[in-house]
A = this chain, B = another copy of it.
Amino acid sequence: MITVDLSRLTGWDFHQIEKAMAHRLAAAHQILEEGTGAGGETTGWLRWPKECPAGELDKIQQAAAQICRDSQVLVVIGIGGSYLGAKAAIDLLGGNGPEKTQVIFAGNTLSSDEMAALLAQLENKSFSVNVISKSGTTTEPAVAFRFLRQYLEERYGEEADRRIYVTTDPQKGALRALARAQQWTSFSVPGSIGGRYSVLTAVGLLPMAVAGIDINRVLAGAREEMEQLSRRSMENPAWQYAAARNLMYEAGKKVELLAYYEPTFRFMAEWWKQLFGESEGKQGKGLFPASVEYTADLHSMGQYVQDGQRILMETMVSFQNSGTSLSLPYRADDGDGLNYLAGRTLEELRAQAMAGAAIAHEDGGVPNIQIQVPSRNPESYGALVYFFELSCGLSGYLMGVNPFDQPGVEAYKKNMFTLLGKPGYEALQQTLKNRSKSRKKAGKRNILPNVAKVD
């Protein structure tokens, strides 16, 4: 379903790419499928489209139907991999129509104004909450859940527990324990599937189903793509993408720009940034993932892409079929000089703008990869998710990292817990206090609010 075009990968033709990368990809694909590579215990996503139990899907559909019956709003609480994929799907596939239950994402910020706005928005509206967190103790979602749970209890009293849906670890953790104690409806994130690879589980599927997206079609698309991508040869589009970005990385490119042409794709790009950034950005390695929305950003970032530091490669995603067809009106006056385009479709203009940019960027020293997706529909979404996940697993192994862990995420949390005085962080507190003293001695300023106390 997904196709890749590497014909604008400056200096490399297909056979050279095959010669350089096919054997490395064969090895990577093998350890990935056998689960013998680093992080092999968390590759459950690899077969999930086929192994996802039918009973699980039924349970998700039933919960979604219940939420749609009794709630105008579903507040989904989650951060990182616990919200990006579902938000991407709903934005891309046009859920959240006026007659449907509206899905709002929370727990992904510590902004006071955002929380106040959310609570104000819920006034006079019936709502339920889906809290998504493997441990149940990640700060942002746990904090948001405290506010929302209190508000649910104010609004619904004893009925509040009936409006809480939990997606968490099948056995362990704070949220699982609470769900048991309070008899909340609960779903599991399989232990073998990490956060950023979890969108095709209940993590993503429950919010999608509530937004009116046919989750059976999403999984069907992922299953079909899974079969397409099982080939172990350079004809495999996931091999092509993983090969190309590693070749460019090894040739010194620093940044991969994901360029898209549909504004509704924005959060799919955010999901992609987490997937690749968190999987490869370790041990001082990894392409820095960034995204641009064309053609808008051709008029803002276009100058840099064309002519800035030559550290970029570019991956353009496009949809083959548009849902609509609009032809440019003719005007007798032709004051804007556009009559040479009158009668031609916006789709054609978009395609030529994209081709024009691809050629210009390659000419300017930015190697270009094209990824083409059939349509903006649930099957294509499922296929694209699986395509990127497999490409990322392969690519990470090519790069020599464990694409399934994220050890670096702990560093800021440790500091934050220390600064907040969390029990258990007393030793680090002393260290930060001493550092703060040295900073003051050295005459360092510090405008961070509330921080002077400890740091």
Chain B residue contacts of A305, Cβ below 8 A: 281, 408
Is there contact, CB below 8 Å, between A114 and B263?
A: yes
Is there contact, CB below 8 Å, between A284 and B309?
A: yes
B-facing mask of A309-329, CB < 8 A → 1, else 0? Answer: 111100000101011111011
Contact (A274, B286) CB under 8 Å given A139-B349, A415-B355: no
Say yes or no for A11: interface residue by CB 8 A criterion: no
Is there contact, CB below 8 Å, between A352 and B420?
A: yes
Say yes or no for A54: interface residue by CB 8 A criterion: no
Copies in the complex: 2
Counting contact residues on chain A (CB < 8 A from B), the size range is 35 or more
Say yes or no for A115: interface residue by CB 8 A criterion: yes
Is there contact, CB below 8 Å, between A335 and B281?
A: no
A363 to chain B, nearest CB (A): 7
Contact partner, A349, options B110, B357, B370, B448, Cβ 8 Å: B110
Is there contact, CB below 8 Å, between A7 and B444?
A: yes
Is there contact, CB below 8 Å, between A300 and B270?
A: yes
Contact (A341, B439) CB under 8 Å given A262-B113, A277-B304: no
Say yes or no for A44: interface residue by CB 8 A criterion: no
Is there contact, CB below 8 Å, between A288 and B304?
A: yes
Contact partner, A415, options B150, B177, B356, Cβ 8 Å: B356
Is there contact, CB below 8 Å, between B309 and A451?
A: no
Contact (A146, B331) CB under 8 Å given A112-B325, A298-B412: yes
Say yes or no for A278: interface residue by CB 8 A criterion: yes
B-facing mask of A417-452, CB < 8 A → 1, else 0? Answer: 111111100000000100000010011111111110
CB proximity to B under 8 Å, residues A83-132: 84, 108-116
In the complex, which residue of chain B has the Cβ closest to the Cβ of A446?
B7
Give bound CA distance, A193 to B264, whole Å: 32
Chain B residue contacts of A14, Cβ below 8 A: 443, 445
CB proximity to B under 8 Å, residues A360-386: 360-361, 363-364, 370, 372, 376
In the complex, which residue of chain B has the Cβ closest to the Cβ of A291?
B290
Is there contact, CB below 8 Å, between A178 and B415?
A: no
Say yes or no for A251: interface residue by CB 8 A criterion: no
- New A-B contacts (11) at CB < 8 Å, excluding given A285-B309, A354-B448, A356-B417: A5-B448, A114-B263, A115-B346, A142-B336, A178-B336, A274-B301, A281-B308, A285-B308, A356-B413, A356-B418, A359-B432
Some 12 contacts from A to B, beta carbons below 8 A apart, are A7-B444, A112-B323, A115-B346, A140-B299, A143-B346, A150-B329, A282-B303, A284-B309, A284-B310, A288-B288, A302-B412, A357-B415
